[in-house]
Amino acid sequence: MEDIIKGGPWLFQGQSTVLQRWELGIALRKHKHTQVPVWIQLRHLPAEFWMPDGFSVVAGGVGKLLYPDAIMKACTRLDFTRLCVMLDVTSKLPKQMVILMPTEDGGKVPCRVDVKCEWLPLKYCT
């Protein structure tokens, strides 16, 4: 049971869930969390970033990469990338990111990546 309580972050039906051991006299209250795990979808991600190091770099524009979903690991869905990231709820969530891709002549060209969160904490909904 201790592994379950400490092993998070946990998502239940796509929403962040916090587990705490029940103790006699425990006070039921809402905790203010500054970081929550969320699933994001990245569309138009260049093929050069479809690897663990690339996912980590791109996810860094939103939060800290926790893990890609199982379908991403198997490379069976190629229309978007789905990653679980630890989101800092005190920062602004981008709807797009721009990645500078190197060109053959040594220059760089901007590439727009769309970001979509599957679930957002209430802070983003108000």
Q: Give the pLDDT band of residue 121 (cuts 50, 70, 90).
A: low
Residue 5, helix vs strand vs coil: helix
Please return the burial class of 119, using the count of CB atoms within 10 Å of its CB with bins 0-12, 13-18 and 19+. middle
Instruction: Round to whole Å and give the CA distance between 109 and 96.
Output: 16
Q: What is the pLDDT of residues 7-50, one digit of tens each?
A: 666 667 766 666 667 777 777 777 677 788 888 999 999 888 88
pLDDT at 124 over 60: no
pTM (2 d.p.): 0.70
Specify which residues 108 forms β-bridges with.
Answer: 102
Tokens of 112: 């727009």
Q: What is the pLDDT of residues 57-90, one digit of tens each?
A: 899 999 999 888 877 666 677 788 899 898 888 8
CB-hemisphere CA count at 13 Å for 18?
10
Give Cβ neighbours of residue 90 (< 8 Å, ≥ 6 apart): 34
Q: Give the pLDDT band of residue 54 (cuts 50, 70, 90).
A: confident
The reported pLDDT for the residue numbered 78 is 76
The reported pLDDT for the residue numbered 126 is 44
Domain borders along the chain are: 34-125
Token pair 């979808």 is at which residue? 41
The reported pLDDT for the residue numbered 36 is 82
3-state helix, strand, coil in the chain (%, to 5): 20, 35, 45
Residue 12, helix vs strand vs coil: strand
Token pair 């990338």 is at which residue? 81
The reported pLDDT for the residue numbered 9 is 62
